[in-house]
Amino acid sequence: MTKLAVQVLYDDRSVRPGEMFADADLLGLPQRVVVSEQTIKKDSFELKSRQAPKAHLLKLDELAGALNA
Confidence band for 2, pLDDT divided at 50, 70 and 90: low
For residue 49, is it within any domain? yes
For residue 51, is it within any domain? yes
Total domains in the fold of the chain = 1
What number is the average pLDDT over the span 52-61?
92
pTM, two decimal places: 0.81
User: Using alpha carbons only, what angle is made at residue 17 by residues 37 and 13, rounded to the nearest 5 degrees?
Assistant: 95
The domain that contains 33 carries what CATH number? 3.40.50.800
List of E strands, 6-55: 31-34, 45-49
For residue 9, is it within any domain? no
CB atoms within 10 A of CB 37: 6
For residue 29, is it within any domain? yes
For residue 30, is it within any domain? yes
For residue 7, is it within any domain? no
Q: What is the pLDDT of residues 7-22, one digit of tens each?
A: 889 999 999 999 999 9
For residue 25, is it within any domain? yes
